[in-house]
């Protein structure tokens, strides 16, 4: 049953998921201290797949959708994101720039449906683009051009995964993510072998300590299994317009967590860039509802 109001307990659950997803960028940075990025991504999806796949029923969706989602999210989103975060962009800025997926998702959906871009979407994109441009212009080394390009490509891959998952709106998202991981692990493992090489893989595994393995498990259990299970449960009980805007807090938690745990500097220009990107996301999410209420009034 879908409810229109959000009880306090459910609001706190949504906030917990957003906090996990936001601070997860700090966890990624910690794991990358010892593990090569593609190996780290391979391990993340391996533990998201096993042993959960033995207990969670495969959703009744085409195998091609599971494969497409697994490759786009695994090798695309997280493979590129981990590479970018291994010295090319700070965790806080990565958590912000990857939210470009919202605009890529809209653009892909419009390209497939033939729908025209609306003025408010152009304004929203302009705000977010101004924020990303400010990051590139004023960067103090916390983001390189390569890092920005890689994270934007990760956002595009995430958007592609969103388009794929939208083809099965009634599917259990937790099951979808777990079974799609079956197609995330092989390409990531092959890419790790080809580009990082067995010596780097062996060295990374040998150097991994308890903190590193905790980061891997947190990626799989906390970020993936807990996050998607709770988010899907909330979406099944409340309108998407009530739950989805909470994701705007992901970069807030990401930047705050990186500042508190890793000491990432938050100068004025970086906060201004964050404000521009989040404002763009907010316009994209909230303007249709605001316009409807204004017309009704």
Residue 62 domain-assigned (yes or no): yes
Residues 219-278 have pLDDT tens digits of 999 988 898 888 878 877 877 667 777 888 899 999 999 999 999 999 999 999 999 999
Residue 158 domain-assigned (yes or no): yes
Residues 45-91 have pLDDT tens digits of 999 999 999 999 999 999 999 999 999 999 999 999 999 999 999 99
- pLDDT for residue 135 is more than 70: yes
pLDDT class for 1, splitting at 50, 70, 90?
Answer: very low
Token pair 């033995």 is at which residue? 54
- pLDDT for residue 2 is more than 50: no
Residue 3 domain-assigned (yes or no): no
Residue 52 domain-assigned (yes or no): yes
Please list, in sequence order, all residues whose beta carbon lies within 8 angstroms of the beta carbon of residue 199, skipping any fewer than 6 positions away: none
Residue 2 domain-assigned (yes or no): no
Residue 230 domain-assigned (yes or no): yes
pLDDT class for 218, splitting at 50, 70, 90?
Answer: very high
CB neighbourhood size of 275 (10 A): 13
Residue 199 domain-assigned (yes or no): yes
Instruction: Give the domain range for residue 152.
Output: 8-296
On whether the pTM is more than 0.85, the answer is yes
Extract long-range pairs of 270-276: CB within 8 Å, 24+ residues apart: 270/92, 270/93, 270/135, 270/138, 270/142, 272/131, 272/134, 273/96, 273/131, 273/132, 273/134, 273/135, 273/138, 274/96, 274/131, 275/131, 276/127, 276/128, 276/130, 276/131, 276/134
Residues 102-121 have pLDDT tens digits of 888 888 888 887 777 788 88
Residue 1 domain-assigned (yes or no): no
- The phi, psi pair for 89, rounded to 5°, reads -160, 145
- pLDDT for residue 297 is more than 70: no
Number of structural domains (the chain) is 1
């Amino acid at each position: 049953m879908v409810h229109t109001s959000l009880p306090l307990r459910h609001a706190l659950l949504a906030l917990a998921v957003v906090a996990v997803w936001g601070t997860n960028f700090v966890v990624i940075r910690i794991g990358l201290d010892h593990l090569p990025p593609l190996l780290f991504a391979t391990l993340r999806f391996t533990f998201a797949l096993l042993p959960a796949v033995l207990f969670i029923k495969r959703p009744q969706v085409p195998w091609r959708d599971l494969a497409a989602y697994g490759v786009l999210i695994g090798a695309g989103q997280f493979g590129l994101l981990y590479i970018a975060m291994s010295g090319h962009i700070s965790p806080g800025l990565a958590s912000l720039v990857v939210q470009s997926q919202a605009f890529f998702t809209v653009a892909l959906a419009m390209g497939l449906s033939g729908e025209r871009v609306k003025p408010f979407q152009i304004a929203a994109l302009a705000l977010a683009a101004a924020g990303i441009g400010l990051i590139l212009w004023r960067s103090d080394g916390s983001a390189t051009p390569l890092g920005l390009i890689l994270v934007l490509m990760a956002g595009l891959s995430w958007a592609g995964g969103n388009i794929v998952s939208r083809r099965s709106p009634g599917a259990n998202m937790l099951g979808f993510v777990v079974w799609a991981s079956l197609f995330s692990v092989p390409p990531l493992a092959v890419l790790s072998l080809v580009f990082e090489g067995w010596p780097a893989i062996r060295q990374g595994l040998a150097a991994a300590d308890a903190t590193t393995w905790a980061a891997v498990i947190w990626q799989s259990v906390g970020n993936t299994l807990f996050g998607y299970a709770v988010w899907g449960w909330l979406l099944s009980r409340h309108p998407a317009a009530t739950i989805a805007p909470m994701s705007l807090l992901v970069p807030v938690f990401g930047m705050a967590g990186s500042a508190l745990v890793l000491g990432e500097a938050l100068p004025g220009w970086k906060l201004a860039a964050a404000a521009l990107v989040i404002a763009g996301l907010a316009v994209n999410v909230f303007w249709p509802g605001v316009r409807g209420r204004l017309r009704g009034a």
